[in-house]
Structure 1
């Protein structure tokens, strides 16, 4: 069944909003309407406030990240290599949404953001648990805590890209390296895994 006009307008608004927020975090709803090719009333018909629009975009971003996390780690037998595959699959998507994720800290409560990230965190926790059970990850830190740490490592690296401290083309490799070091993977194994993976483009 083809999309309705309502569906088409909603998609145009969210796509335009993501592009406009990435260009200017302070962009107005009027500017988003203009970029989407709709009138202001149409935007507010779908999203009653700027916060509601940001919240929807955050949900879309987290859903995309969750899919990438699973797809990037599926079919890889070694838990450490699976974690790298997951990070490499997630990084380009997270990088695309990085300004939006930064905005979410102000438009979405900390508890709300943590709750939204719970399904993503659960996948990450399972990857780390597999590595611990295989004896590949030696960190004494509890698995659940490591999953939270991994989440914030990614957010920190995205902030470093925003600040100009980290070139985007190095982000995926640094994210994978930091994630593996945090869970206690041996440095020589980290080098071996990274050399065997194609680094995704930013």
Structure 2
């Protein structure tokens, strides 16, 4: 009679696994649905994910909480993308900036819906705060380039890093609004980052053209 009963030792292990799987699926589906339709409701996301509405709210008590969770995933992915970039023993700040921008753009393109959603929900400032560690790393790279004369700018490195960040946000919105082809946006972002740091456009284009897109 006890053969069909779930063992107490295995049940607690299975439940978190199913819950984590549901949460990951909801986040992935929400990212896709919101990119297609920024006004997609929690009900629509639940249906697309193949779960009931209560399951979605069990993981994310509000639409804002869901957006914040998507932002957390984006920031984590940015960290992983930058960590995967090899070091540069030659100390080439321009090449490093271009490679890092391309790596970040691959993440940004998947999460570009966040710009519109965050501005609507008022979480943009929170996203900027969460990007602080990456901005500090960018500041160090820009300072290296300024010290070497590779970059030229009237701005100090910290201010220039913030400008670089806003440029990427602007390019994400440009793709969202149809002003920029998504397939061309990665190289365009890298060239724009270099020129914003004071690299001549001809040199920026030549450098980015040599990198894998």
TM-score by length of 1: 0.90
Partner of 1:133: 147
Partner of 1:23: 36
TM-score by length of 2: 0.86
* Aligned counterparts, 1:1-202, within 5 A: 4-72=17-85, 74-76=86-88, 77=90, 78-199=92-213
Offset, 1:140? 2.4
Offset, 1:89? 1.0
Structure 1: which 5+ runs fail to align? none
User: Which secondary structure state, in structure 2, belongs to the residue aligned with residue 84 of structure 1?
Assistant: helix
Distance in 1, Cα, partners of 2:44 & 2:154: 50
User: Which secondary structure state, in structure 2, belongs to the residue aligned with residue 166 of structure 1?
Assistant: coil
For each residue in 1:48-68, what CA deviation from the matched residue of structure 2 results, as whole angstroms up to 9, or x when unmatched? 111101111011112212322
Distance in 2, Cα, partners of 1:65 & 1:91: 9
RMSD: 1.8
For each residue in 1:123-163, what CA deviation from the matched residue of structure 2 results, as whole angstroms up to 9, or x when unmatched? 22122122112221121211000000001101111111122
Contact 1:79 1:127 in 2 (8 A): yes
User: Which secondary structure state, in structure 2, belongs to the residue aligned with residue 158 of structure 1?
Assistant: helix
Distance in 1, Cα, partners of 2:53 & 2:151: 52
Distance in 2, Cα, partners of 1:101 & 1:95: 11
Distance in 1, Cα, partners of 2:182 & 2:44: 28
Distance in 2, Cα, partners of 1:70 & 1:123: 11
Contact 1:55 1:108 in 2 (8 A): no
User: How has the CA–CA distance of structure 1 residues 95 and 13 changed in structure 2, closer, same or farther, with 3 Å as cutoff?
Assistant: same
User: Which secondary structure state, in structure 2, belongs to the residue aligned with residue 4 of structure 1?
Assistant: helix
Give the count of matched residue pairs: 198
Offset, 1:98? 0.7
